[in-house]
Amino acid sequence: MSKDDRSVLSWLAFVAALAALSVAIFGLKDNGSSSGSAAGGGGGAKPTVNVTLKDFAFEPATITIPTGGATLHLMNGGQAPHNFKVAELGITSIDISAGASYDLNIPATPAGTYKVICPQPGHEGAGMVGSLVVSDSASGDGGSAGGTPTTTPPTAGHDASSNSAMDARMLAAAQLFPAKTAGHGGDLAKYTVAADGYKEFVVEAKVVDWEVEPGKIVKAWTYNGVVPAPEIHVTSGDKVRIIFKNSLPQSTSLHFHGIQVPNVMDGVDPYTEAPTTPGGEHIYEFTAKGPAVGIYHSHHNAQEQIPNGMFGALTIDEIPTPQVLIDKGYPEKPTKSVNMVLNDAGVIGLSLNGKSFPATEPYTIRVGQTMLVNYMNEGLLVHPMHMHQPLGWIIAKDGVPLITPMPTDTLLIAPGERYTVLYKGVEPGVWAWHCHILTHAETADGMRYMVTALIVER
């Protein structure tokens, strides 16, 4: 990427961040079931402390209350259901849906620091962890007494009064892109042709160190040591053999999501096979039938294994460019094809192809060229993926070509869904490309998480 490209992208990050941070969401519905004025120690009214549950963080991350107890006004400002759990105290809230709130009573508690998590599957691993500090000297002024909550400012913990300080943080974050990190996933898988004509792929499940963003190294659960796993690409009629080896510390299985296979090869233990135990091996065979855009992933303790990195693209043939678009001047074959696997949980967290901004990969095409993108959602949440300028045409859903393509610039992708979108470069520039759930793309410190860019050159 040239210095000019970096300058344009930095300017874009600055403008987009300011716009995103100008949005505030209020009017959360109160589903509380406990009184905000419940009596605390000494007979006085307990203070009410506001806590916002986001995807995936608590705000504030450190919650301070007095030893006499408090009412926590929990507000779900995210897109997924969340809970508030303090295991040491035996306290867990109800499931709080997006946009709702709940008053959680904390009784008189000994002074100390207690770990707080969201117990929803995968959320603790995604970083939704905080602290409850109980102190003799705390006044509980994180909210007002008598059950009347105050609104937590969206930039709590930052010098929001200083525009220049915020601008500098945003610019610094943008200038890191694209940051170099160890490891690259999603490249084409290698195979050998056996004597009986089968294309043989070796897939090994194993735990490795994986750098999601600069300095964030996690224990990822992978196929062949990368996230996403290498793309298995074959042609209709190919006989495919996958030699699956389990080097994980627990049993697993291999499922071919969206791919036509015999039932006995579906990879869903204990129904179609026995689980593959640690150190074990299993052989999967099928004849490729396409076109298809699928995913291979675990189907055993999937809530942990998949978000932690066990997913990869499995494609058969190519999705054809519709004739109606060829008539509009689109080339018959795309200039390049890209798989974009979305994740939001586990040790990987909010990411595109196993990386978080600024370590995500930018893509480049020229004016008049096209890029075919297979979106694949392997997370727990829906993600509205938004391309800032090049208009996209949805040409296939779950690997099935559409009779009539549909235009899009923002596409909502649910867990397990695959959409194939064809983009054409029209206007030169560096165009932001990101999830449009704002907390998945921007913070007061600049762009983060599910953000990359498409560079259109002349």
pLDDT above 70 (res 210): yes
**Average pLDDT score over residue span 220-249:** 98
pLDDT confidence of residue 150: 38
What torsion, rounded to 10 degrees, do the Cα atoms 213, 217, 220, 224 define? 80
pLDDT above 90 (res 32): no
pLDDT above 70 (res 127): yes
Give the start-to-end residue ranges of the domains of the chain: 1-24+163-175+319-458, 29-147, 183-317
Q: List, for residues 291-341, the tens digit of each pLDDT value.
A: 999 999 999 999 999 999 999 999 999 999 999 999 999 999 999 999 999
Q: Which of 293, 306, 431 is nearest to 367 (CA)?
A: 431
pLDDT confidence of residue 44: 58
**Average pLDDT score over residue span 394-410:** 97
pLDDT confidence of residue 161: 54
Q: List, for residues 367-378, the tens digit of each pLDDT value.
A: 999 999 999 999
Highest averaged pLDDT of the listed ranges 73-82, 132-141, 274-283: 274-283
Of 41-45, 118-122, 207-211, 220-224, the range with the lowest mean pLDDT is 41-45
Rounded to an integer, what distance in angstroms lies between the CA atom of residue 230 and that of residue 224? 7
Question: Mean pLDDT in the chain?
Answer: 87
Residue 174 φ then ψ, to 5° = -65, -35
- In this structure, the chain runs to a length of 458
pLDDT confidence of residue 139: 59
pLDDT confidence of residue 3: 43
**Average pLDDT score over residue span 121-137:** 84
**Average pLDDT score over residue span 156-170:** 70
DSSP symbols for 231-251: EEEE-TT-EEEEEEEE-SSS-
Residue 26, Cβ neighbours under 10 Å: how many?
5
* Cβ atoms of 378 and 295 closer than 8 Å: yes
CATH superfamily of 183-317: Cupredoxins -  blue copper proteins (2.60.40.420)
Rounded to an integer, what distance in angstroms lies between the CA atom of residue 67 and that of residue 417? 48
> Which of 342 and 46 is assigned the larger pLDDT?
342
Q: How confident is the model at residue 24 (pLDDT cuts 50, 70, 90)?
A: very low
Residue 119, Cβ neighbours under 10 Å: how many?
15
Of 24-28, 165-169, 412-416, 419-423, the range with the lowest mean pLDDT is 24-28
Q: How confident is the model at residue 123 (pLDDT cuts 50, 70, 90)?
A: confident
Helices (H) and strands (E) in the chain, counts: 4, 32
Share of the chain above pLDDT 70, in %: 85
Q: List, for residues 245-296, the tens digit of each pLDDT value.
A: 999 999 999 999 999 999 999 999 999 999 999 999 999 999 999 999 999 9
Rounded to an integer, what distance in angstroms lies between the CA atom of residue 117 and that of residue 348? 17
**Average pLDDT score over residue span 176-183:** 96
pLDDT confidence of residue 18: 35
- The architecture in CATH of the region 1-24+163-175+319-458 reads Sandwich (2.60)
* Cβ atoms of 194 and 238 closer than 8 Å: no
Q: How confident is the model at residue 93 (pLDDT cuts 50, 70, 90)?
A: very high
Rounded to an integer, what distance in angstroms lies between the CA atom of residue 95 and that of residue 388? 35
pLDDT confidence of residue 84: 96
Q: How confident is the model at residue 204 (pLDDT cuts 50, 70, 90)?
A: very high
What torsion, rounded to 10 degrees, do the Cα atoms 243, 258, 270, 189 define? 20
Rounded to an integer, what distance in angstroms lies between the CA atom of residue 177 and that of residue 356? 10
Rounded to an integer, what distance in angstroms lies between the CA atom of residue 101 and that of residue 256? 39
DSSP state of 276: B
Taking the domain 29-147, which CATH number applies? 2.60.40.420
Rounded to an integer, what distance in angstroms lies between the CA atom of residue 316 and that of residue 297? 16
pLDDT above 50 (res 156): no
Residue 165 φ then ψ, to 5° = -65, -45
What torsion, rounded to 10 degrees, do the Cα atoms 159, 164, 168, 170 define? 70
Q: How confident is the model at residue 144 (pLDDT cuts 50, 70, 90)?
A: very low
Say what angle helices 163-175 and 3-21 make with each other, to 10 degrees. Answer: 140
